[in-house]
Homo-oligomer: A and B are copies of this chain.
Amino acid sequence: MITWNNLDTLASYQELSKAEKVNLAEAMNGENGAERVKNYTVPMAEGLAYNFAAKQVDDNILEILKKLAEEAQLTEKFEALYNGEVINTGEKRLVLHQLTRGQLGNPVVADGVDKRTFYVEQQDRIAEFAGKVHSGEIANGAGEKFTTVVQIGIGGSDLGPRAMYLALENWAKKHGAFKMEAKFISNVDPDDAAGVLNTIDVAHSLFILVSKSGTTLETLTNESFVKDALKNAGLDPSKHMIAVTSETSPLAKSEDYLAAFFMDDYIGGRYSSTSAVGGAVLSLAFGPEVFAQFLEGAAAEDKLSTEKDVLKNAAMLDALIGVYERNVLGYPSTAVLPYSQALNRFPAHLQQLDMESNGKSVNRFGEPVDYVTGPLIFGEPGTNGQHSFYQLLHQGTDIVPLQFVGFKNNQMDTDVVIQGSTSQQKLCANVAAQIMAFACGKADENRNKNFEGGRPSSIIIGDQVNPKTLGALLAHFENKVMFQGFLWNVNSFDQEGVQLGKVLAKRVLAHETDGALKVFSDLLNI
């Protein structure tokens, strides 16, 4: 029997609040520190590992976190989710994104169909379509192959797929899997679409319109912008466009598209990278086999997320430590710092995933909670960030918990030896050094050169960014966010906070405003 309780009603949370804090600088020092690095690690899928040695925890805190996981019924709640319960209470929906990559529990039937079968069908349809595009069977009006694919979508239809594309672009080039270049149009600012159209050959471009409802204003506007460009080039837009949408949307059966592939209401935009939303663009760019490997990595990590033992479940442990940092230690933000240029936009995707899911002030029953929930998430790849905002992370007045990601190998396999080491070695040396610099600091009589230390971080270490490890990494963070939502007792799967702005913007465009909004509208020449 599952009960949904607020975090602050749990006995283990009270115990956690009172537990003795860890002196991180001390804990990470000397032989004790070395032992922590060896022992405080959780294996993940595809050879990844989550190392939490430099987090502000010890065996005592870990014991209490285990109790918290049990008392909050994290495993049972995840089980209920993948078995098809209505977990998205606000919108009264199932939450099925994990089902796009595997079957963790019982068959889930909704809208009269087996949903796993439905998602696999869409993948198969996309694979077939992508194959025909790659072979030239599906071609432009002149019978020439499409060379470029352009995703038109915003939010979850943009950030996740874009981050995944960028993560695999160079890997695919290196491994002979690069089929088509992908571009992305998202912003309603007309300069976004115009800028992208400036850099492509529209005659050889295939556009993917992505909108679950088929009513997203930004996306429809950009579609229209692109259609104008196609028509101006003497082309038939319906021969250059496909749609990814829900079966009930106006786009589903329109003759404006070469084909339509489906997602549904049980997959939130920010969780849709493994659905047709990511599937179409990634299968076209890299081939369906690469997309299948990506799903495989995600499925393997999902499976580990069902583990009851928090020391075997990296997503759950990551979630628990994050809640400890947020609610007990009082740190309001978290930085995501991948030491990999391929993961350039991965932090922007996690920013949406996390902040849109858990940036809530009411619990799943709509009652205000008396504790803080989702933290602010931001990040840039290392070593770039070191030359930017790390100054504040090291010596600022606030403590920001850090989430590093590092890989032993790069993707392109070209490197250069300078001062006795490769660039890849320098990259890895930097992330190792940063963890220790943040944890232990360094005393200096010149206070301007003094480092307090005590700044907690974790690191996920892997071999290389490739389709499988990327899938596992994505699933890790999706599941972490889900577990944190369970702990805070919020609904991580709706986003009512985006509605008011939409309503007011419509009012501005209809010139139905007064007061301050009217004056702002005038100042902006609307």
Contacts and interface: CB of A to CB of B under 8 A. Distances in A.
A498 B386 contact: yes
B351 A497 contact: no
Contact of A524 (B193, B217, B432): B432
6 contacts: A195-B412, A221-B423, A351-B388, A355-B388, A373-B397, A436-B516
A374 B395 CA distance: 10
A79 to B, nearest CB: 25
A21 interface: no
Interface stretch (A144-152, A280-288, A336-344): A336-344
A360 interface: yes
Contacts of A395: 359-362, 496-497
Contact of A228 (B193, B400, B409, B416): B416
Interface stretch (A119-127, A154-162, A201-209, A243-251): A154-162
Contacts of A194: 170, 410, 412, 414
Nearest to A348: B380
Interface string A77-101: 0000000000000100000000000
Contacts of A198: 170, 173
Most chain B beta-carbon contacts within 10 A, residue among A37, A53, A367: A37
Interface in A421-462: 421-437, 439, 441-442, 446-452, 459, 461
A423 B424 CA distance: 44
Nearest to A499: B449
Interface in A379-394: 380-384, 386-394
A416 B516 contact: no
Contacts of A447: 362, 366-368
A448 B494 CA distance: 10
Contacts of A169: 195
B509 A420 contact: yes
Interface string A463-484: 0000000000000000000000
Interface stretch (A28-36, A102-110, A134-142, A308-316): A28-36
Interface stretch (A9-17, A62-70, A183-191): A183-191
User: Lowest 3 CB-CB distances: which A-B pairs, in order?
Assistant: A359-B392, A155-B387, A33-B516
Given A221-B423, A388-B356, A498-B386, A516 B53 contact: yes
Contacts of A423: 188-190, 193, 221-222, 225
Given A189-B339, A383-B154, A516-B28, A426 B504 contact: no
Contact of A333 (B332, B391, B410, B461): B332
A509 B421 contact: yes
B390 A501 contact: yes
A501 B427 contact: no
B191 A410 contact: yes
Contacts of A329: none
Most chain B beta-carbon contacts within 10 A, residue among A159, A332, A378: A378
A428 B344 CA distance: 29
